Structure 1
Amino acid sequence: MDRTDYARLDAVALRQLIADGQVSAADVDTVAREAIMGVADDLGALAQPLFETSLVADEDGPFGGVPFVIKDSGPFARGVSFAYGSRAIRGVADEDHELMRRFRRAGLMAVGQTCAPELSLNFATESRLHGVTRNPWNLERGTGGSSGGAAALVAAGAVPVAHGSDGAGSIRIPAACCGVVGLKPSRGRTTSGPDVFGGMPMGVDFALTRTVRDTAALLDAVAAPSGLPRPVRPYGELAQIDPGRLRIGFTTLAGSTVDVDEEVAAVARGAAEMLDWIGHDVSEVATGFDQRDVVDALLLAIHAAGKALLLAPRRPDTRLLEAVSRSIVSETASMTDADLDSWVRAQRRVTGSVEDVFDRIDVLVTPVTAELPLAHRTLDYDDPRWTARTWLERILEFGPFTAASNVSGHPAISLPLGQSRSGMPIGVQLVAGMGREDSLLQVAAQLEQAMPWADREPPIFAG
């Protein structure tokens, strides 16, 4: 297998070649390492050198032998060092995160670790520790965050699938910026584990891929038992089945204070029009939640992260933290019960508003970001002028559409349905009712067929 063939295959196709004996897992591992290193210097997506040997996984799993990378978002894989993108944090995971165990059982072969911003609290993958991660479509632009290293490598054909985590849009925003698929499952669909949010349930771990079928098959492989609605058939099968006539709502409004770029809005509107042409009932809707409540609800998670840092057995040297992290730690120390009560009530209001939307529709269509991918250092996490609140307000100006589904727990996916006149990817978000990844993936598959992206390759490409 050469690099060109490898870089253009999704994970399902690659696994089929391995299962059929047309190529060995060892050969794929070798080619994957060459592909990653071929783009590594340009992209700055690796948090550390590639692992000397890929992490052990079940070669008979549904993704047996498929190359994979994990995100520097905490103690995720046994024996692997982590830093949360910070100069102040150093550790080695004593055990696997439960989702990592499921990735291993699925057969995914982790070959390395990707960059993330400090504490994963930025919609740009930039840090004092690692510098900037660059977009394979334009090296002067960012990848989004916080799973930007993962998105860059998937977009560049270096790996077909990559671990990501999403606390306010951190899978979907990099997916949109880099032109790949990014699913945030429903809260509880995948397992949570130790993270900087101190156990707060707004963050969800899953993955970024290049195809809807990879996303669906991977969810089948790693979904955890929960009280959520169970699909009547595997997601991989459901994604190939017409869901029938659904109620589709769409909006390109991000609140009274955020202007959405006309090219970005046009792609979302075009997706809604395509769904109408396919045969769904499409109408414009109002989401109903107040963006100020979204910020307040996210403060609950942000300050849980601050509390986790304050209570850590080896408390980080705050002098080595970046400015926003220092603000969070300082503010957390003076946090009151009244603050917590206010933020919890905000979370309930947002959740109620989102649930009201899905009493009226099955799937919501929105942009992912309000702008095209940003120039580097536009979102400067190390600027001491920011407080926790003003920082959240700033990053939500860039990504105003994603965080509400973290607050409410609803599943959402970013699809690379468009490109700007300058050639940058534009993502469209689909959100579904709680636990309804089946409907979400079925509509996503319809759009992938009607508005395909498989033939788009960025200038920095492993093949």
Structure 2
Amino acid sequence: MKRVHAFTDDALGELDGVGIAERIAAGEISSDEAVEAALARIDKVNPVLNAIAFDDRERARKRAVDNDFPHGAFAGVPSAIKNNTEYAGLPTRYGSAAVSDRPATANEAFTDQFLATGVNIVGATTLPAFGLTATTEFVDREPTRNPWDTDYSAGGSSGGSAALVAAGALPIAHANDGGGSIRIPAAACGLVGLKPTRGRTAPAKETKDAPIDLVSNGIVSRTVRDTARFIADAERIRPVGDLPPVGLVEGPGARRLKIALVTEPLTGQLLDRETHKAVTDIAELVETLGHRTEMVPLPVDRAYVRQFIDYWALLAFALDRTGKRLFDKGFDRKQLDGLTRGLSRHCLRHLYRMPSSIRGLRRATAAFRSLHDQFDVILSPTLGHTPPEIGYLDPGVDFDEAMDRLTRYVAFTPANNTAGTPAISLPLAQSTNGIPIGIQFAADLGDEKTLLELAFELEAARPFARIQDA
């Protein structure tokens, strides 16, 4: 096992983002000390993890010295932004050599929302090409590695953010989720990963006008309270009138929940032994806490898998054929990786059925949400099997083989993206070789509060494994 972490006795210590913000506010450390500690940690682990797409340390240092931060929940706390989200002054390359390195001239909406929480962005984090797969691997450069064991995938598409947070280089980092891309790397790297309800946070620029907007912005963190504080602050900064307010959740709720236990993936395969044991163990744990669980199948036709792939392929087709308009004139489609080209070709071959696939996804949303007529929460594994070694999901392998492996792995997360419902991955289990196993809890539209209350309860009942203790 090749474990890598950066925890040490510096200004950040073993604190989460809330803890660091409190120390800065109390004058116990300065934001300058915090950012220097974070940069030293990044320099220690990034040569192995390959999680930084663009370094922006000099601007971060200047902000820290000037103490130039909004009065948000994370004022002065070092963080990073995923490199598919425009941040003025840095190139936004979406993990692909096809996109030019022209710096963004303005922030997109979520960037402003994230900055308003007070974070000090030290750089941009890696993602696979256009976030189209569940591992942060590339055809033209070294992969982003999992700090729990660098032979393993860090997940994707927010793999760079997850690797840095799990390794202790940063307390929190931006992530976004269009098919599981917050929850998958959170599961692989042993983190808390909440995909908010569609519209809870500012939408992603590239998908906000799509027929079904799959993408939600959020963060990955090591503690439930960091995620809860982020959601509360994001809501303060950008109130959403058509969703129930979440407010600041600070601990478990009193209400006992009725929970649907789902262990059969839509793909029809059986779970691997360790994932099955992990999810059934957590079902037993929630029962001991007074909640009720009942095993149910997802009320969604297996055609959903094909329909989601069709729609996912449509996104790849759009950037393949209209990249110069979507990005800039420097876009070079000859530099697209095999997975992106394969998805684009899939779309072209099956374009005739796209309207029916979109209708099918919308029907699946109604069926999926109908579970909440009977259940408060849906409990499942985050992933179809334990995180794989580097290379298993390599975007350069045969397209059909890559898609078969990908759909087996990403078997539980996409339904929440098409439905727009919130879901959280919690690091409640580990494999026999010490790799994290994420457990997912999902709720109905707007009900992040229930998920966060349950997450606080489970974090207390089964404290999350710490990489520095292993």
How many Å separate the matches in 1 of 2:231 and 2:16? 15
Q: Is this contact kept in 2: 1:198–1:305, CA < 8 A?
A: no
Q: Residues 168, 295 of structure 1: CA spacing in aligned structure 2 closer, same or farther, 3 A cutoff?
A: farther
- Structure 1 residue 33: Cα displacement: 0.4
Measured against aligned partners, the alpha-carbon deviations of 1:307-333 in whole angstroms (never above 9, x if no partner) come to 144223327322211012123334555
User: Mean Cα displacement is larger for which, 174-183 or 261-270?
Assistant: 261-270
SS in 2 for 1:106: coil
Task: Name the aligned partner's letter for residue 353 of structure 2.
Answer: D
Match of 1:408 among 394, 398, 419: 419
Contact 2:55 2:122 in 1 (8 A): no
Structure 2: state its 5+ residue gaps: 1-6
- In structure 2, the residue matched to 1:448 is 459
CA drift of 1:456 comes to 4.3
**Using a 3 Å threshold, how does the CA distance of structure 1 residues 360 and 125 change in structure 2: closer, same or farther?**
same
Residue 292 (structure 1) shift: 2.9
Unaligned ranges ≥5, structure 1: none
> Who is 1:115 aligned against?
126
In structure 2, the residue matched to 1:102 is: 113
- When normalised by structure 2's length, the TM-score is 0.90
* Contact 1:44–1:133 (CA under 8 A) maintained in structure 2: yes
The equivalent of 2:174 in structure 1 is 163
Counterpart pick for 1:37 among 38, 43, 46: 43
Aligned to 1:201: 213
**Cα pair 1:144 1:373 within 8 Å, conserved:** yes
The structural deviation recorded for 1:165 is 1.1
- The answer to whether 1:215 aligns with 2:230 is no
Distance 2:466 2:33 in 1: 25
Q: Distance in 1 between matches of 2:404 and 2:419?
A: 18
Structure 2 contact 249–449 (Cα < 8 Å) conserved = no
1:72-91 equivalences under 5 Å are 72-74=83-85, 76-90=86-100, 91=102
Question: Could you tell me how far apart the structure 1 residues matched to 2:365 and 2:436 are?
Answer: 30
Q: Aligned match of 1:10 in 11, 16, 41? A: 16
1:393 positional shift: 4.3
Distance 1:147 1:99, change over 3 A: same
Indicate whether 1:20 and 2:26 are aligned. yes
Quick one: which amino acid aligns to residue 205 of structure 2?
Answer: P
For 1:361 and 1:185, locate their aligned partners in 2 and report how far apart those are by CA, in whole Å.
19
Specify whether residues 141 and 2 from structure 1 end up closer, same or farther in structure 2 by C-alpha distance, changes over 3 A only. closer
Structure 1 residues 226 and 352 mapped into 2: Cα distance closer, same or farther (>3 Å)? same
Q: In 2, distance between residues paired with 1:374 and 1:50?
A: 31
Distance 1:228 1:299, change over 3 A: farther
| Change over 3 Å in CA distance of 1:140–1:7 after alignment to 2 | farther
- Mapped partners of 2:273, 2:417: distance in 1: 26
Which stretch shows the higher mean deviation, 11-20 or 294-303?
Answer: 294-303
What amino acid is aligned across from residue 165 of structure 1 in structure 2? Answer: N
Question: Is residue 2:146 matched to residue 1:135?
Answer: yes
Note if 1:367 corresponds to 2:381. yes
Whole-Å separation in 1 of the counterparts to 2:27 and 2:386: 42
1:328 aligns with 2:334: no
Output one character per residue of 1:175-223: Cα deviation in whole Å (capped at 9) or x when no partner. Answer: 0111011010011111113226864410111110000110010011113
Change (3 A) 1:110 1:98: same
SS in 2 for 1:354: helix
Q: Specify the code of the residue in structure 2 equivalent to 1:339.
A: R
Which secondary structure does the structure 1 equivalent of 2:87 belong to?
Answer: coil
SS of the residue corresponding to residue 414 of structure 1 reads strand
C-alpha separation in 2, matches of 1:143 and 1:184 = 18
Percent identity for Structure 1 against Structure 2: 33
SS of the counterpart of 2:399?
coil
- How many residue pairs match? The answer is 451
Matching residue of 2:247:
234
TM-aligned CA deviation for residue 46 of structure 1:
1.1
Label 1:315 to 1:26 Cα distance change in 2 as closer, same or farther (>3 A).
closer
Whether contact under 8 Å (1:198, 1:304) holds in the other structure is no
Query: Which residue of the partner structure matches residue 258 of structure 1?
Result: 269
- Is it true that 1:304 corresponds to 2:318 in the alignment? no
What is the alpha-carbon distance in structure 2 between the residues aligned to residue 182 and residue 258 of structure 1? 25
Aligned match of 1:176: 187
Contact preservation (8 Å) 2:310, 2:346: no
Q: Kindly tell me: are residues 271 and 47 of structure 1, through their superposed partners in 2, closer, same or farther at Cα, counting changes over 3 Å?
A: same
Per the alignment, in what secondary structure is the counterpart of residue 55 of structure 2? coil
Question: 1:413–1:101: structure 2 CA closer, same or farther, 3 Å change rule?
Answer: same
Q: Which amino acid aligns with 1:12?
A: V
- Return the alpha-carbon distance in structure 1 between the equivalents of residues 209 and 316 of structure 2: 6
Secondary structure of residue in 1 paired with 2:249? helix
SS in 2 for 1:165: strand
Q: Is the 8 A contact 1:72 1:113 kept in 2?
A: yes
The 8 Å contact of residues 202 and 301 in structure 1, kept in 2 or not, is answered as no
| 1:378 partner amino acid | Y
Offset of 1:92 from its aligned partner? 2.2
Distance 1:318 1:295 in 2: 26
Q: Return the letter of the residue paired with 2:373.
A: D
CA contact (8 A) 1:3 1:31 kept: no
For residue 375 of structure 1, what is the amino acid of its counterpart?
Answer: E
Structure 1 Cα separation of the partners of residues 234 and 396 of structure 2: 36
CA distance in 1, matches of 2:276, 2:388: 16
Taking the aligned partners of 1:393 and 1:7, their CA distance within structure 2 comes to 42
Q: Aligned in 2, Cα 1:301/1:421: closer, same or farther, shift over 3 Å? A: closer
Contact 2:155 2:184 in 1 (8 A): yes
Cα distance in 1 between the residues matched to 2:267 and 2:83 = 35
CA RMSD of aligned residues (A): 2.2
Q: Tell me which amino acid in the other structure corresponds to 1:78.
A: A
